[in-house]
Amino acid sequence: MKNEKLLKELKEDLEADKEYNSDTRQEAQDLLHFYYISHYTEEWRAALPLKFQGQFDNIKKAGRKIISDLSSQDIQADFAPKDGTDPALSNIMDRLFRTDARKNSSIEAFYNATLEQVPCGIGGWRLVNEWESDKIGDRNQTINRIPIHEFNSCVFWDSAARMQDKSDAKRCHIVSGYSKDDYDELKEELTGRDDDDECEGETGPAPVTSYGTTVKNGKDVYIVESYYREKVSQVVEFYRDDEGKVYAYEKAEAKKFASTLAEEGKTFFDRKTIKTWKVKKYTWTDTEILSESDVVGPNIPVVPQYGERVFVDGIEHYEGITRAAKDAARLRDFMYSYMADIATSSPRETPIFFAEQLEGVEHQYQENGVDGAFPYRTINRVAADGTPLPGGPVGTLPPPQLPPALIAAMQGINESLIESTSSGAPNSIADVSMSGNAVSQVRAMLDENSIIFRNGAKIAKRRDAEIWLGMAPEVYGVKRKVTLTNKDGTTTEEWLQETEYDLETGEERVINNLAEADFDLAVDIGESFGSQRQQSRQEIGNLLQSLQPGTSEYMMLLHKYLELTDGDATSDIRKYSHKQLLLMGVREAETEEDIAALEEAKAEQGQQADPALELAKAEQMKAQNGAEKLKIDMYNAETARMKAMQEGAKIQADVENLHTKTAGNHIDNVQKAYGGRAN
């Protein structure tokens, strides 16, 4: 009974939101078809009395310039710390957001939104939290962006929402189509039921189609995903530890861990009721609610990206570049097609002869094309009665002329079409020989027509960052290693929610804790890193030419120029220049490698002493070496003296032992002994 009532409410809300600004939505869908598919409808083709019905598209050329301009921009999100948040966390959030924004699914979501925003005035995407991998035991999640194709026809907002980023919307519906097999698989995933029954009657409302026609796109079943955002009351209890530090816990959480809080010496002293935003998601068809779940974060995770948007008579209207140029483009198609009809089906200039001139040779003038390709043609000089005849045509029938009004209209139509679609950029923008400064000036001219779309993209990207910021503490709020992307595109790894021991307090503390962080958000859109790199190299190269080689300023700019080189072949040069800029104090340490390089340099500087001190140490070492040499010489002399005494005592003993021997032997031994001592 409860589900039946809820399903009825869901249907009523969707119907009301779908009806709101339905005319704008239908026109935008028609414009999307006009821009990408065809300038003609079946009714329009049937009504035109032309054999040739061509399409001479000039709108898409202008649209591609704007899309290219927007696609070359890069998201620059800045999460500034507030309320005592560690600035290091701000740096982590900036780089973590950049990592998620550069995933393939995010790049496709942004690009698809731009492809729809420029022609019809609106596009968009949504953010979801998904498992990082399907590996057993991997419990890490990540934030991904999913493109919403045909955003205009499939997404329906709360009709009371007025903000362009829809941050004030209370609900949002997304209609998605599935084939029967895909729907059965989805239904089994959401409900656990494997129904073999036919899905007739289970489909939800279909999205808006171009010109209200029925489209065969292989979608048998449509489901609706409805997001509802509402405020709920929450009781928060405050605790204080022995040092006076205050902690806040939800009432249910505090009750669950009451004993732990008591052991930690935290005592309750106050409570208050606060209002927080909660988002629920319902997936349903016309017959049942397939699933109901809570959404991570306090925001509806759907981002619209508008072109030109305004309220008229209390109803939201939006458009892209196609609406203003559509009528001129259709008229141009008609005029050019009409001219083609005249050129292909009307008679050409025709010569006039007397009948007597062609008598007997008519066949030479009756065939066209290959059959009439004679090497020459003849006419009669005289008539049958001998009367001389003219030597050529006696006149011509002129071809039909284009009406003067058509020529004037074509000129006005072309001018109108150029004015409504021109970006203000000259054709030389494609000239590869243009200098960097000239390209920069041309890019500035593109702003004339793309500034509205750029502002729409900027608002959308800021809303995207707000939603991401609301999801990140829950998705990344566990101990894990994440990949962080720096501004120059390089990546590093960092631990989140890591516990370390504080030697000063003797307690464990959690570092890089996103749950306790609070940030102010600013988002800007600038040129992509590749474009910035190229422009910076051009500017630095110009500066180097004006500086004296060898100066500190010259070396600083030279290392910066080398750091901006591209390609694997120069990676060692980039690394060397990066380190030199770090040691010169031009760059700040951003990675662990940078910090290690600075510490190594400081250690080397600490080992380098004053030259005078080094000289004194050298003299002292020299004196020490001299004293040591003297000691060694004295030791050697004493050793030699002792050795001589030992040899003398040995000789004396030998003499006494041989005293009884013959005199001749005694004399020989004495001589030998003296000879040995002489050695």
Which of 405, 360, 399, 397 lies closest to 379 in space, CA to CA? 360
Tell me which DSSP letter residue 139 carries. Answer: -
By the 8 A CB rule, do 234 and 180 touch?
no
- Classify 19 as helix, strand or coil: helix
Confidence of residue 677 (pLDDT cuts 50, 70, 90): very low
Q: State how far the Cα of 626 lies from the Cα of 620, in Å rounded to an integer.
A: 10
Structural element, H or E, at residue 288: none
Contact 471, 143 (CB under 8 A): yes
Query: Tokens for 109?
Result: 């979501």
Domain for residue 364, yes or no?
Answer: yes
Number of helices (H) and strands (E) in the chain: give both, helices first.
20, 19
Same-domain pairing of 551 and 564:
yes
Look at residue 155 in the predicted model and tell me its pLDDT: 95
Does 433 reside within a domain?
no
Statement to judge: residues 657 and 547 lie in one domain? no
Give percent helix, percent strand, percent coil of the chain, each to the nearest 5: 50, 20, 30
| 228 pLDDT above the threshold of 90 | yes
Give the whole-angstrom CA distance, residue 568 versus residue 577.
Answer: 15
C-alpha triplet 81, 104, 186: angle, nearest 5°: 105
Q: How many CB atoms lie within 10 A of CB 467?
A: 24
Does pLDDT of 23 surpass 70?
A: yes
Q: Is residue 645 part of a domain?
A: yes
Q: Of 581, 607, 633, which residue constitutes the final position of a domain?
A: 607
Residue 58 belongs to some domain of the structure: no
* C-beta neighbour count of 660 within 10 angstroms: 8
Residues whose CB is less than 8 angstroms from the CB of residue 83 and which lie 6 or more positions away in sequence, other chains included? 518
Q: Which residue has the higher pLDDT, 566 or 235?
A: 235
Work out the number of other CB atoms within 10 angstroms of the CB of residue 584.
Answer: 12
Helix (H, G, I), strand (E, B) or coil at 230: strand
One domain, residues 185 and 237: yes
Among residues 171, 180, 128, 175, the alpha carbon closest in space to that of 150 is found at 175
Q: For residues 630 and 475, what is the distance between their CA atoms, to the nearest angstrom?
A: 76
Residue 376 within any structural domain of the chain: yes
Extract the tokens encoding 448.
């004339």
26 found inside a domain? no
Looking at the structure, tell me whether residues 200 and 221 fall in a common domain: yes
Residue 437 has pLDDT above 80, yes or no: no
- Amino acid at the residue 441: Q
How confident is the model at residue 679, as a pLDDT?
36
Instruction: Provide mean pLDDT across the span 84-104.
Output: 90
- For residue 299, the number of C-alpha atoms closer than 13 Å in the C-beta half-sphere is 20
> Both tokens of residue 634?
């004295």
Q: In terms of domains, do 282 and 234 share one? A: yes
Put simply, whether the predicted model's pTM sits higher than 0.85 gets the answer no
Does position 121 have pLDDT exceeding 90, yes or no? yes
Residue 124 in contact with residue 172, Cβ under 8 Å? no
The whole-number pLDDT of residue 658 equals 46
* Residue 422 lies inside a defined structural domain of this protein: no
Residue 222 sits in the same domain as residue 174 = yes
Last residue of a domain, one of 262, 282, 297: 297
Boundaries of domain holding 192: 170-297
SS (H, E, C) 595-638: HHHHHHHHHHHHHCCCHHHHHHHHHHHHHHHHHHHHHHHHHHHH
Predicted pLDDT at 522: 83
- Among 67-76, 279-288, 337-346, 564-573, the range with the most confident prediction by mean pLDDT is 279-288
Structure tokens at 211: 């010109």
* Residues 174 and 290 both lie in one domain: yes
pLDDT tens sequence across 261-308: 888 888 999 989 888 899 999 999 988 899 999 999 999 999 999 999
Residue ending a domain, choose from 607, 623, 642? 607
Total domains, the chain: 4
Neighbours of 193 (CB within 10 A): 9
Give first-to-last CA distance, the chain, whole Å.
126
53, 344 Cβ separation under 8 angstroms: no
* Burial grade of 578 (CB within 10 A; 0-12, 13-18, 19 or more): buried
Are 616 and 598 contained in the same domain?
Answer: no
- Dihedrals phi, psi of 353, to nearest 5 degrees: -125, 160
Claim to verify: residue 188 and residue 263 sit in the same structural domain: yes
**In the predicted structure, residue 130 carries a pLDDT above the cut 80:** yes
Position 634 in a domain: yes
Q: Is the dihedral of CA 360, 362, 365, 368 positive or negative?
A: negative
Q: Is 286 found in the same domain as 196?
A: yes
Radius of gyration in angstroms for the set of CA atoms belonging to the chain, rounded to a whole number: 45
Q: Report the percent of the chain where pLDDT is more than 90.
A: 26
| Contacts of 546 by beta carbon, 8 Å cutoff, 6+ apart | none
* Structure confidence by residue, pLDDT tens digits, 544-553: 788 888 888 8
Instruction: Read off the pLDDT of residues 461-505 as tens digits, 9 standing for 90 and up.
Output: 999 999 999 999 999 988 888 999 987 778 888 888 887 766 666
